[in-house]
Structure 1
């Protein structure tokens, strides 16, 4: 069965922003290769202006975020939803709920609505208390107005079951293995193998960047610490100012060249992953796939992916201890290889795309059945 599928809730593809854009790239292209017709909604401000990308239809919708700030996201999602109502999509896949679920009553009535429920957005420390309360409300609306749900983490799946008594489908992100071709693509002379620590993250408090850099800054290490991410926001400016006197810490800005990022991960002495809120994080999977040795913030999300194959930290003192004491011996090499096997067998894109297709087909059949036999909702 070949379906007409729409993906809403992202800034658009190809990805130049974050996790939902990342997975939308892979899933949309993968579904097209399986014979489905797929449309991804893009912000009109997106740098990609063509109407098709690798077989995926691109629908450009007006996005006033550049004028209104965060409030513009609500208008953008409204515009996408109203456009989708005019088209006869069999399935509408909504990535996240932060600014879309308030329009739930306007979701296309004849389409199967699937929402990827994201992480626990209301726990993000960057949000004020009123915003956190709104996000809890938005989460409830997403549950109310969606027909089916995806969790990218087993922790989120359990939370949704306990909180709302709904059975979401666990489908994680994926990652590609680090290839010999990628190794050759990047100028290895630009790297000093295993002579630096690395983190890659959006500059937000809940990513524990300050904790990680405090720990490193207080250490006796002579290695460099490379930080990848856009420091243009308020927190990014705070972080760069706080650590500007430590010349070991290098803020490299955002890098969208995937081969370069993965070479940096592969060559790092220790890769720090500080994310503490959300589901399965794409940058963590890519670090695993790039054969990086990982130190992660100690929380259920990270532990559900890494298990015993990482070092863990809760505070700056523990980061300092890792910086000064972690070695690269057989035990550490085994941790790296175990994580690589997880990518091969649990988090590979082919498996993820197959699971998305299977669930989408299942939701479509369920939706058709409910339309034929009214009253099942």
Structure 2
């Protein structure tokens, strides 16, 4: 069975932003290769301006966020939903709910609605209490107006079961194993191998960037610390100002060259992953696949992925201890090897695309069987 599938809720592909854009790239292209017709909605000011990408139809919708800020996200999602109502998609895959679920009553009636439920957005410390309250409400609307649900973390799956009594399908993000081409990508990084620490994240408080850099700043390490991420926002400017006098800390800006990023991860002495809210984070999987040794913030999301194959920290003092004491010996090499095996077995893109297709087909058939039963009554 070949379906007409639309992916909404992202800024668009190819990825120039984050996690949902990242997975939308892989899933949309993978579903096209399996014979489905797939459309992805892109912001009209996305740098990619063509009408197709690797066989995926690109639908450009007006996005006023650049003019009016966050409120523009709601307008953009509204525009995408209203366009989708005209196109008779069999299935609509919604990536997240933050600014789309308030339009839930407008979702196309004849399409099967599947929502990837995101990472408990209302817990993010960057949001004020009123915004957190709204996001909790948006989560409830997403549950109400969707037919089926995807969780990218077992922690989120359990949360949705306990909170809303809904059974979501666990499908994580994926990553590709580190290739020889990537290994040989950057001779400069290889010359600096083991000579620097690395983190890659959006500049947000809940990513524990300040905690990590505080710990490093207090350390006696002779290594440098490379920070990847756009520092143009308020928190980014605060962080760069706070650590401007530590010449070891290098703010490198955002980098969407996946090959270059993976080379940096592979050659780092220790990769710090500070994310504390959300599901299976793509940058963490990329670091695992890139054979990086990982130090992660101690929380259930990270532990559900890494298990015992990482170092963990809760505060700056623990970061300082890791910076000053971690060495690459046999136990550390075993941790890296075990994480690569996880990518091969659990977080393999081929398997994940298969799971998406199987679940989408199951949802479509279940929904139409239920509708047929209701129609006969």
Gaps of 5+ in 2: none
Report the counterpart of residue 49 of structure 1 in structure 2.
49
CA distance in 2, matches of 1:235, 1:213: 14
Gaps of 5+ in 1: none
Report the counterpart of residue 305 of structure 1 in structure 2.
305
Q: 1:302 Cα deviation (Å)?
A: 0.1
Structure 1 length-normalised TM: 0.99
Q: Where do residues 51-200 of structure 1 align in structure 2 (5 Å cutoff)?
A: 51-188=51-188, 191-200=191-200
Report the counterpart of residue 282 of structure 2 in structure 1.
282
CA distance in 1, matches of 2:96, 2:259: 28
Q: 1:185 Cα deviation (Å)?
A: 2.7
RMSD across aligned C-alpha pairs, in angstroms? 1.2
User: 8 Å contact 1:266–1:292 — kept in the other structure?
Assistant: yes
CA distance in 2, matches of 1:49, 1:293: 38
Q: Where do residues 286-297 of structure 1 align in structure 2 (5 Å cutoff)?
A: 286-297=286-297
SS in 2 for 1:373: helix
User: 8 Å contact 2:152–2:280 — kept in the other structure?
Assistant: yes
Q: 1:190 Cα deviation (Å)?
A: 6.8
- Alignment pair present for 1:227 and 2:234: no
- 1:324-346 Cα shifts (integer Å, max 9, x gaps): 11111000000000000000000
Q: 1:241 Cα deviation (Å)?
A: 0.1
User: 8 Å contact 1:200–1:273 — kept in the other structure?
Assistant: yes
Q: 1:189 Cα deviation (Å)?
A: 5.8
Q: Where do residues 255-266 of structure 1 align in structure 2 (5 Å cutoff)?
A: 255-266=255-266
- 1:113-144 Cα shifts (integer Å, max 9, x gaps): 00000001000000000000000000000000
User: 8 Å contact 2:189–2:263 — kept in the other structure?
Assistant: no
Report the counterpart of residue 205 of structure 1 in structure 2.
205
User: 8 Å contact 2:185–2:263 — kept in the other structure?
Assistant: no
Q: 1:373 Cα deviation (Å)?
A: 2.0
Structure 2 length-normalised TM: 0.99
CA distance in 2, matches of 1:203, 1:298: 19
CA distance in 2, matches of 1:92, 1:19: 18
